[in-house]
Chains A and B, each alone.
Chain A
Amino acid sequence: MNFAAIAWLVLRKDLAIETRSWEIVSTTLFFAVSCVLIFAFAFVKEEAAPGAAADAAAGILWIAVAFAGTLALGRTFERERYGDTLKALLLAPAPRPAIYVGKLLGIVLLLAAAEALLVPLIALLFGAPFFSRPLILIGLLAAGTVGFGAVGTLFAAMLVRARTRDVLLPILLYPITVPVIIAGVRGTSALTASPVNENLALMWLAILTSFDVVFVTLALWTFEPLMTE
């Protein structure tokens, strides 16, 4: 079987499992929304002018995405730990990086669903003008999500047999993905600034895309040796 077919098969299997319980989708979305609501209680004041907390909106969006993403990564690989099914995937007569890509696509889809909920919610609560340049915002979110997911999927797969995986995942993941989070926040801030700084947002989008190329390439290159003990 070719690379794309294996990746699609793994993604479809993850979706089939998820649609039986909706466990990861519901916990991830609930956690992301809770995060935003707590920030809203802290930053949005009744007496303040509308949109006064908009400056914080970009940071809150990316914090919620990063935290929810970490939760989703842990839960997704917990399923592969039970019954040691990750090993069964690695036994397939196929390029092992295809398994990685399938898992990555699942995480990206899940985070895309979270972002589809978070963006309008944050725009509403914080008065953030997220929709002034919707295509650039989608580009920033997509590139940031792929970069975060690429590193997260690799680390979550590596840690699947570690006893302290829940502690180690954020410790390893956040320092490496800091450039992605910074680029995402700065790019999104440029879109919520008044006036909108489109060039700055595009520059951060280009930087995010280059991070994606580096992270995905490194992950594809290292997945097989890291997963083969």
Chain B
Amino acid sequence: MIEFDDVQLVDVSRHFGRRRAVSHVSLAARAGEVVGLLGPNGAGKSTIISMLATLVVPSAGDIRYGSMEDRRPPSSIRSRIGLLAHELHLYPDLTARQNLEFFARLHGLDPHERVDRALASAGLDDRGDEPVSGFSRGMRQRLALERALLHSPKLVLLDEPFTGLDDRAVGLVAGRLRTLAGAGAIVLLATHDLDLADGLISRMAVVRNGRLIADEAPGGGLRARYRELMAS
């Protein structure tokens, strides 16, 4: 199994045709950190997440997982990456249990205990045998988070993980992310919700027009600092 304690983007750019989605971004995240990737719509946050998840190849620059510097990392690196994207990556026709069992097997894991644990973490242990199509957005979001964490990834990538969650579920997810970081995971969180990010993230990386304009500890008043950066 590939082990790493940090992930780095080194002067990474990504163009889609003539459109520049990400431009010369350098950013590092270490084990135990919750890095908030902040920025307005279309800033390039999702492209950065997709590149880290190996779904998008950078047009220029390098992504380094620990000491690994391969531009096209081996498929085994994906066993250490968990992604909760804007779309939830769940099959609505399958039950919650079937979804989790499928993704556990896809990662080469014995599904039985893990799936029961994941259903309990999502608060869906009594609804595991119901099709996902009957779930509310919040229930799907919780299930999708457990799907992303099923294989105990080292690098946890989250794109708007709080969408559709009620206050109680937001608290549970935030607690889960803190626990993951405390256990040594690298958590990268792309979000618009500055109130939720405040107090959760240990570092903020602000992206605008594909460029990294700030990489700093949030300090007090995340929203005020963000507004200041956006206005500059």
Contacts and interface: CB of A to CB of B under 8 A. Distances in A.
B187 to A, nearest CB: 17
Contacts of A91: 53-55, 78, 81, 83, 89
A1 B83 CA distance: 20
Interface in B54-89: 54-57, 75-79, 81, 83, 85, 87-89
Contacts of B77: 93
B87 A93 contact: no
Contact of B55 (A16, A17, A82, A90): A90
Contact of A20 (B50, B78, B93): B93
A84 B106 contact: no
Size class of the B contact interface (CB-based, 8 Å): 20 to 34
B94 interface: yes
B92 interface: yes
Size class of the A contact interface (CB-based, 8 Å): 20 to 34
Nearest to A90: B55
B203 to A, nearest CB: 25
Contact of B85 (A6, A79, A82, A84): A84
Interface of A: 1, 6, 9, 13, 16-17, 20-21, 79, 82-85, 87-96, 228-229
Nearest to A227: B55
Contacts of A13: 91, 94, 102
Nearest to B131: A20
B90 A92 contact: no
B112 interface: no
Given A1-B105, A92-B78, 4 more contacts: A6-B106, A9-B102, A87-B89, A93-B78
A16 B102 CA distance: 11
Given A9-B106, A83-B87, A228-B54, A93 B93 contact: no
Contacts of A83: 87-92
B102 A95 contact: no
A229 B91 contact: no
B85 A87 contact: yes
A94 B55 CA distance: 13
A93 B2 CA distance: 11
B85 A17 contact: no
Contacts of B85: 84, 87
A96 B91 contact: no
Interface of B: 16, 50, 53-57, 75-79, 81, 83, 85, 87-94, 98, 102-103, 105-108, 131, 147
A93 B54 CA distance: 11
Contacts of A229: 16, 50, 55-57
8 contacts: A17-B94, A79-B91, A82-B92, A87-B55, A88-B147, A93-B107, A93-B108, A229-B16
Contacts of A17: 91, 93-94
Contacts of B56: 228-229
Contacts of A92: 75, 78, 106-107
A21 B89 CA distance: 20
A53 to B, nearest CB: 41
Contacts of B147: 88
A169 B218 CA distance: 48
B103 A88 contact: yes
B54 to A, nearest CB: 7
B90 A16 contact: no
